Amino acid sequence: MAVLRRALRSLSTFATVSNRCIVYAQNGDPTKVVKSLTFPTLPPPSPDTVNLRFLLSPINPADVNTIEGVYPEKPSLISNLSLNGLGSSEEPVYVGGTEGLAQVTQVGNGVQGLKEGDWVVMDKPQSGTWSTSRNVLSKDVLRLPASGLTEAHGATMTINPPTAYNMLNDFVDLKAGDWIIQNGANSAVGQLVIQLAKERGINTINFVRSRDDMTPLVKHLENLGATKVLTYEELSDKSLRGRVKEWTGGKDICLALNCTHTWFLTAQCPNNHFHSQHHSTYSKT
């Protein structure tokens, strides 16, 4: 991750004099396969395309897994960055990055609903956002509202927020007053689950790893809307079952969200503290 951060920081250093992107030609250890590639200024966009300038592009764990070749979603090779050599048809490359906030700099003929200056995000995974600029089809971007979002909001809204939203909507018809449980509650997705659940009046029991001073983390999650915050060690407490029953008024847990290990839902619950109607396992970020 440190190598990728240094590489991405190099983009802003040279953004005013040239275009750069972070590329790789084959899967492997990111510290060995990623390179910084300089490419020419983009020509005017062709019909139905737009030119973009990326304002902010984060590193998601999925990006690292994609470079390693172990992520299910595969990117497409790009061969129009250079006339010859790396990034050309002779040596096509993958451009890293899935998430990123970009600004429209030029609009091609036939493009509707987009104008110069609009903020957009990519509508396709593995679109190559680790770049100072890109030319893309207009149908492959989503325009963001003109106000109410920071650059950080825009750059990180296409993976974690939809994951949290879909898990709360696709598996169970949750109602206000229902209870859900999750581990990894202080992950990005976990914190979004807490906030979205709070907005809907859904109660959350949240598990996190213990640390020397739990107070700041507990207060932070409670301020987001967490109903209860516990550590994994508390799962072995025989009194927990009674406490949970008291909290829920005897109601079942409607949904369990697991982003660490299945033992959270099985072996670590020998006393069957939680009877959940539905389980969902996902990869946290």
160-281 matches 2-155 in CATH topology: no
Angle between helices 188-199 and 160-169 (to 10 degrees): 50
| 263 confidence band (pLDDT: 50, 70, 90) | low
> What are the boundaries of each domain within the chain?
2-155, 160-281
Q: Is 71 a catalytic residue?
A: yes
Structure tokens at 98: 């899935």
- Give the pLDDT score at 280: 66
Residue in this structure with the two tokens 């009674």, named with its chain if needed:
242
**pLDDT tens digits, one per residue of 123-141:** 988 899 999 999 999 999 9
> Residue 193 contacts by C-beta under 8 Å, 6 or more apart in sequence?
164, 167, 168, 180, 182, 185, 204, 257
End-to-end, the C-alpha distance of the chain in Å comes to 13
Angle between helices 188-199 and 215-224 (to 10 degrees): 40
Per DSSP, 236 falls in state G
Given a cut of 70, whether residue 277 has pLDDT beyond it is: no
> Of the given ranges (15-24, 90-99, 107-116), which has the lowest mean pLDDT?
15-24
* β-pairing verdict for 179-182 and 255-258: parallel
| 83 confidence band (pLDDT: 50, 70, 90) | confident
- Give the pLDDT score at 78: 93
Task: Say which CATH superfamily domain 2-155 falls into.
Answer: Medium-chain alcohol dehydrogenases, catalytic domain (3.90.180.10)
Q: Which CATH architecture has domain 160-281?
A: 3-Layer(aba) Sandwich (3.40)
Structure tokens at 36: 């910084």
pTM: 0.80
- Give the pLDDT score at 200: 97
Given a cut of 80, whether residue 262 has pLDDT beyond it is: no
**pLDDT tens digits, one per residue of 99-112:** 999 999 999 999 99
Q: Do 221 and 232 contact (CB within 8 A), yes or no?
A: no
Catalytic residue among 71, 94, 165, 282: 71
